[in-house]
């Protein structure tokens, strides 16, 4: 064994807040602040490259074979007439020891 620690995997999510996309890494079971990146421009959805670059700045990279999955929610839970909120998620791994 080389003695290198295996990178930890986490979930990165992306959603819209105040008309701008934000990407954050969910660090469960820790008191650490979740790393977050707010994209500087309003809609449209950030490209795959922009998302990968933002993850890199936060100290993460997409896990091998990971894909972005998109889900819908409502702005007001339980109100089917509410505006739709899109949430994207993917698996990422830490390359800086974040979340250890």
Evaluate if residue 3 carries a pLDDT over 60: no
Chain-centre distance for alpha carbon 56:
11
What's the mean pLDDT in 70-91?
Answer: 90
Task: List, in sequence order, the alpha helices (H) in the chain.
Answer: 48-58
CA atoms of 61 and 94, how far apart (whole Å): 7
pLDDT in tens, 26-69: 998 888 899 999 998 777 899 999 999 999 999 999 999 999 99
Q: Tell me the pTM.
A: 0.80
- Cis upstream peptide for 17 (omega within 30°): no
CA atoms of 36 and 58, how far apart (whole Å): 7
CA atoms of 44 and 60, how far apart (whole Å): 23
């Amino acid at each position: 064994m080389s003695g290198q620690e295996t990178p930890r995997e986490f979930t990165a999510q992306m959603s819209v807040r105040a008309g701008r996309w934000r990407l954050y890494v969910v660090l469960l079971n820790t008191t650490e602040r979740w790393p977050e990146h707010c994209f500087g421009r309003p809609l449209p959805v950030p490209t795959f490259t922009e998302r990968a670059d933002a993850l890199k700045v936060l100290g993460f990279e997409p896990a091998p074979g990971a894909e972005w999955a998109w889900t819908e929610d409502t702005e007001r839970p339980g109100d089917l007439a509410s505006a739709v909120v899109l949430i994207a998620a993917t698996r990422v791994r830490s390359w800086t020891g974040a979340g250890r």
